[in-house]
Amino acid sequence: MANTNKQLQIIYSDGTLGLGGDGFHYIFSYSRGGLESLEINGKQWLYREPKPTFWRATTDNDRGNGFSKKSVQWMGADMFVDATSIDVKVNDQLIGFPGAPTNNKYSNNEYADKVEIIYHYETLTTPSTPVDVSYTITPNGNIDVHAHYTGNAKLPDLPVFGIRFVMPTLASGFEYDGLSGETYPDRMAGGQPGTYHIDGLPVTKYLVPQDCGVHMATNALTVTRKTTKDNSDQSKTPFSLSFEKLDQPFAFSCLPYTAEELENATHIEELPIPRRTVVSILGAVRGVGGIDSWGRDVEAQYHIPAGDDIDFGFTLDVSNR
């Protein structure tokens, strides 16, 4: 049935919640801890579900001052984070969890003006702390994403906090409105504001692969791909997905590797053959430091204290589809 009133269609499935509209279709998984499918104009944007991210590949300074050892819990939390419960709101009203058999009351003609799915995570740290990620979808297909980290002072400083998207194929490039070059909270004064186009997914060629490619103070990021893993899709026409700031600019990195993949290599040539795109949208970034590489800490104002709450958000803007 045609969606003539420009509302968002909701598919109350047994294991997932589907949301559809003109040129987009999203599927939120109840069992896999996140958004399983993000299709825009038939192009799939997700390899695995976006999850909160807490780890950065150890930098030389992190190794030198022992930060990786102090914060090692966050590596496990980054690799194995899982959702413990899910809430669904329709038109701002919390509904009972719409899994089977509750969903028998729905039909194939369910519509709304606004749907919000909230994933509640518990970090695999000691102690554990809650992290919530919510997705708010409106009929135009845009998704506002909010992440909330609940502070717990018993935990070590965080290396990073954000949401990591893994896309199925390599991006041909990305464009962002932010600062030139690779910037960090304690190394961004030299970044010139502007719009920058980057070909491919360069990994900064530090002798030992480490966290790299962070761009602070970003207003917008557009990732462009030309290929999919869909065997029926032979098109090479570029297609894009944009991340826009909400209240505050965000930080991001756009690389062919996860933090763990970078962590495991001692040379660039040991990194896997690039085949996916890893976009980390970051609400908090720890500084890199620089006083020395054998013990001095990053300056205190550039830490991410675990005791403070962190809130940030951004919009997945699909309006230019």
Partner 1 sequence: MKPDIKWLDDPEKFRIGELPAHSDHKFYQSKAEITNDQSSFVQSLNGDWEFAFSKNPMSRPADFYKADYDSSHFDTIKVPGHIEFAGYDKFHYINTFYPWEGRIYRRPAYSMGPDQTGAGMFSEGEDNRVGSYIKEFTVNPSLAGKQIRVRFEGVEEAMYVWLNGHFLGYAEDSFTPSEFDLTPYLKDSSNKLAVEVFKRSTAAFIEDQDMFRFFGIFRNVSLVAQPETHIEDLSIKPTVDDDFNNGQFSLDAKLTVNDPDATAHITITDADGQQLYHTTQSVAEKLSISDVSIKKVHLWDHDNPYLYQLTIEIAKQDGTLLEVVPYQFGFRRIEISKDKVILLNGKRLIINGVNRHEWDCHSGRAITLADMKADMQTFLANNINAVRTCHYPDQDPWYGMCDTNGIYMMAENNLESHGSWQKLGDVEPSYNVPGSLPQWRAVVLDRAKNNYEMFKNHTSILFWSLGNESYAGDDIEAMNAYYKEVDPTRLVHYEGVVHDRNYEDTISDVESRMYASPDEIKDYLDHNPKKPFLLCEYMHDMGNSLGGMKSYIDLIDQYPMYAGGFIWDFIDQAIEVKDEVTGQKVLRYGGDFDDRVSDYEFSGDGLMFADRTEKPAMQEAKYYYGQHK
Give all strands (DSSP E) within 213-309, no chain letters.
Answer: 215-218, 220-225, 239-245, 250-255, 277-285
Please name which of 33, 11, 48 lies closest in space to residue 229, comparing C-alpha atoms: 48
Q: 17 or 216: whose CB is closer to partner 1?
A: 216
Q: How far is the CB of 200 from partner 1 (least distance, A)?
A: 16
Between the CA of residue 244 and those of 91, 195, 248, 249, 314, what are the distances in Å? 23, 13, 10, 8, 6
Q: 23 or 295: whose CB is closer to partner 1?
A: 295
Q: Which two tokens stand for residue 145?
A: 């994403």
Q: 216 or 241: whose CB is closer to partner 1?
A: 216
Q: 181 or 305: whose CB is closer to partner 1?
A: 181
Under the rule (CB under 8 A), what is the footprint of partner 1? 59-61, 64, 180-192, 204-208, 210-212, 267-269, 287-294, 296, 298-299, 302
Q: 53 or 253: whose CB is closer to partner 1?
A: 253
Instruction: Decide if 32 contacts 46 (C-beta within 8 A).
Output: no
Q: How far is the CB of 130 from partner 1 (least distance, A)?
A: 30
Q: How far is the CB of 67 from partner 1 (least distance, A)?
A: 12
Q: How many residues does the chain have?
A: 321
- What gap in Å lies between CA 282 and CA 196, rounded to an integer? 18
Residue with tokens 């070059």: 181
Q: How far is the CB of 37 from partner 1 (least distance, A)?
A: 34
Q: How far is the CB of 214 from partner 1 (least distance, A)?
A: 9
